[in-house]
Homo-oligomer: A and B are copies of this chain.
Amino acid sequence: MKRIAVLTTGGDAPGMNAAIRSVVRYGTNNKLEVWGVFRGWWGLINEELKVLDHRSVSGIINQGGTILKTARCQEFYTPEGQERAFQTIKKHDIDGMVVIGGNGSFTAAHIFCTKYNVACIGIPASIDNDINGIDETIGTDTAVNTALTAIDNIRDTATSMERIFVVEVMGRDSGFIALTVALAGGCEEAIIPEKKFDFEAACHDIVNGNLRGKISWIIVTAEGAGRAEDVAKKINEITTLETRTVVLGHIQRGGRPTARSRDIALVLGRSAVDCLLKGLSDKVVGIAGGKIVTVDFQKAIAKKEFNLEGMYNLIKQLS
């Protein structure tokens, strides 16, 4: 193992730059030449890559986004695209790859590394925290805190104007962000993809609360479980109460990474390089139960389990 490449793919997540820094500096300290590939798989196909050294990754540890940029790349799902990507790998004598990304990235990396026998290690970075077998992806903690700040702000208005708010957070298939911020934000309800939401019961609570004098209300919905506008419309239809919506959207994706998002990224950057040095491939590195673990790509992309009932019940009990 003399020369490795690192790339970021899929949606950007805060902490990706810290992961790049770690791979580059730990790699070069271990006598590896580290190449940065631009725009994910697209850069491999189009031969956009360059050597990174200690200086290339200065001053990026506290920056959101990714200096290597990222892109969705349909061509990589074709045999021709994969072949071109492999030619770049061969041409540059790259012995191993670190793929920083999420579910889709690891699906692609699994196919590529098994088909061409190129060592690939994944670093889980995605605000959705949807990688199976590990506790937390890089970026989740930052996204949750960004959403929480937004909800704290909205609470000021909800309380002052005594209104019902529906706040839509990210999470296509996962209610992780929704539950985590609803709990931390002292919200009254969370609507998540993993659990059928009982509108009648929720509206009953709202109307009852209203009679007792509890008039402000924040309901968090994961984008995959119901768009804010639809949720608000339903609540308004059932209760006749005025309901406002906020869609947090892309503000959850960027920003200065939190300590946790950075520290996980830095630790896993080292682990990924160590895995390549040990000859491992087709695996994700991650932290589970406080320990560094490796998880096969195929297991990592399976549906992640988490104790949603416990969190959901706690939200209800404390609201």
Tell me the bound Cα distance from A262 to B184 in angstroms: 5
Q: How far is the CA of A59 from the CA of B60 in the complex (A)?
A: 12
Total residues of chain A contacting the partner, CB 8 A: 75
- Kindly state the separation between the CA atoms of A183 and B25 in the bound complex, as whole angstroms: 13
A260 cross-chain contacts in B, Cβ below 8 A:
141, 144, 260
A243-273 interface bits toward B, Cβ cutoff 8 Å, 1 = contact, 0 = none: 0111111111111101110110011001000
Question: Chain B's nearest CB lies how many Å from the CB of A253?
Answer: 5
Chain A 132-155 interface 0/1 with B at a Cβ cutoff of 8 Å (1 = within): 000100000100111011101111
Compute how far the CA of A45 lies from the CA of B34 in the bound complex, rounded to whole angstroms: 38
- Interface residue stretch chosen among A78-86, A160-168, A232-240: A160-168
User: A16 to B156, alpha carbons, bound, how many Å?
Assistant: 11
> Is residue A74 within 8 Å, beta carbon to beta carbon, of the partner chain?
no
Q: How far is the CA of A251 from the CA of B165 in the complex (A)?
A: 11
Residue of A64, A146, A153 ringed by the most chain B CB atoms within 10 A: A153
Chain A positions near chain B (C-beta within 8 angstroms): 8, 11-12, 14, 16, 18, 21-22, 25-26, 29, 39, 59, 61-66, 69-71, 135, 141, 144-146, 148-150, 152-157, 159-162, 165, 180-181, 183-186, 244-256, 258-260, 262-263, 266-267, 270, 288-291, 314, 317-318
